[in-house]
Amino acid sequence: MFGRVTHELMAGYWPTADQDPDPSAPMVEFAGVWREMTSS
């Protein structure tokens, strides 16, 4: 469970993290998981 500030920071980063120039495979995977989690 995250606090409000941590969640806000993550919510600003993860939806587009896999669009960075050279994302790692775990970053791409977690960005997808984040989008699925927040769109439910």
- pLDDT for 2 equals 77
Domain housing 35: 4-39
Distance (Å, whole) CA 19 – CA 2: 24
Question: Which pair of structure tokens corresponds to residue 30?
Answer: 């977690």
Q: What is the pLDDT of residue 40?
A: 62
Task: State pLDDT tens for residues 1-38.
Answer: 679 999 899 989 999 999 989 999 999 999 999 988 87
The number of domains in the chain is 1
pTM of the predicted model as reported, rounded to 2 decimal places: 0.70
**Helices marked H in 1-40:** 4-13, 25-39
Which among 2, 23, 33 is positioned nearest to 15, based on CA atoms?
33
pLDDT at 23: 92
**pLDDT score of 7:** 86
Torsion of the alpha carbons at 1, 36, 29 and 20, rounded to the nearest 10: -100
Q: What is the pLDDT of residue 16?
A: 92
